[in-house]
Amino acid sequence: MLSIKPVSSLEDSSRIVEELIGVGALLSAAMLLGGLTGFWGLAFLMAFGIYLARNLFYFLHFLNLVRSRALEPSKAPFGVWGDIYEAYFEKVFQDKRRIKRLRSETDQVYDAMNLLPDAHISLNEKFQIEWVNHSAENMLGLRRNDAGHKITNLLRQNEMVQYLERQDFGHAIEFYLSAESTRRLSAKIVPYFDKHYLLIIRDITDAHNLAQVRRDFVANASHELRTPLTVLNGYLELMLDSADSLPVIWANPLTQMHQQSLRMQNIINDLLTLSNIEAEDVELEADYVPVHSMLQKLEAEAQQLSGGKHQFHFNLESKEGLLGKTEALRSVFTNLVSNAIRYTPDGGEIWVRWYQTPQSMVFEVKDTGIGIAREHIPRLTERFYRVDTARSRSSGGTGLGLAIVKHIIERHHAKLAVYSRLQVGSTFRVEFPISLKHSEPDV
């Protein structure tokens, strides 16, 4: 049995010496045989044949060891072949230790994945199952022997099929496990390695139910507040119309009360709008939205809202429309443009662009307004979050506009990007996936 040990340069020299000694001994035998028989050529030819046969034997023996993946040779040759054997089997020994270590680390990863509460499913480039963890087995009824099956053959929900067909994995999807099930699941695909995907599915039933309770409360409370507020508004307007018959001291309080009641009414309307958006199915039924003509009308509305205090530049570079909800997208465009007007001082400029890139259809609003500090940008789409409370209230803002924008663009699988510098201006960019691009249908 060959002992595996590192080969030093000194040992390399000794192997060469062994080889030379062997060759010398063979030549000496050939000379002796030639001297005894007188057939010198035949004697040296025989010596060469023996040397060649020895090397051929060890070559075939080594080739057989490699093919059989033997871990150790049955015998250790002398000379240069000894170096070859030792170098090869030292590499085999190192690879064996490396494979053992990698197998141990892989087992640890599998054990850790099996402890995760979320379902994790590895898919190949054809979205066929490679392996599943225990949570996937318990949550979805998958089995390890499902390897090789396409995931949509086992998870047949329309949302999952469309998700894989679009291959737009920048967002998660939500769906029910079955038509009869009350379990709400969230799925997200994360690409990894070379054309492999990790499908992560989480049970969000409790969170979904809590969110539904919150939405119902907001919607019901808003509906209940709307009626008494309408009555209050009516009396205030009546009193303002009859202000001449009231003491002068009441004029200013009544005006402020009316303004605040109108503001509260706007907040309630926005809350109801937000509740309706959240109550819609994630996968909307899309219609053709004529964005180009919609923005042309919006330009006239913006000029009227500004009252001539701002300079507008509407650059509608694309005549293409979108697949989506018309009124919802109108709300997005209107909110972003009105925000630019609200936070841009008199005399400022506002640019509105609609254009196409290779990956998306883009709506962009840029202004020379007061700007937004960097620390505020991540929280802009939170409900009632205000960068400048006093200015927002005085300008009539409800604090819900960007929250509405966020929910609408998420329904359209779009992304909102905000860039801003204080006292320089802001840019709000909405990038719709190119798959939503749609030309005007033939009449």
Architecture of domain 116-203: 2-Layer Sandwich (3.30)
Question: Is 287-438 assigned to CATH 2.30.130.10?
Answer: no
* Sheet with strand 119-123: strands edge to edge: 129-132, 119-123, 196-203, 184-192, 173-176
pLDDT digits (tens, 9 = 90+) for 23-39: 777 778 777 777 777 77
| pLDDT for residue 146 | 87
| 377-390 tens-digit pLDDT | 888 888 777 766 55
CATH 1.10.287.130 is the classification of domain 207-279:
yes
Note the pLDDT tens digit of each residue in 173-185: 888 888 788 889 9
Residue 289, token pair as written in the block: 């939205």
Helix axes 291-306, 326-342, angle to 10 degrees: 30
Of 4-8, 272-276, 333-337, 436-440, give the lowest mean pLDDT range.
Answer: 4-8
| Pairwise CA distance, residues 372 & 355, whole Å | 25
Question: Token pair of 256, please?
Answer: 């402020």
What residue ranges do the domains of the chain occupy?
A: 9-109, 116-203, 207-279, 287-438
Q: What is the per-residue pLDDT across 409-419, written as a single tens digit (0 to 9) for each?
A: 988 889 999 99
pTM score, two decimals?
A: 0.57
123 forms bridges with which residues in the sheet? 129, 197
Q: pLDDT digit string (tens) for 269-281?
A: 878 777 777 766 5
Angle ∠(254,259,262) on CA atoms, nearest 5: 125
Q: Are strands 119-123 and 311-316 parallel, antiparallel or unpaired?
A: unpaired
Tens of pLDDT, residues 104-148: 887 887 788 888 899 999 999 999 999 899 999 888 888 888 888
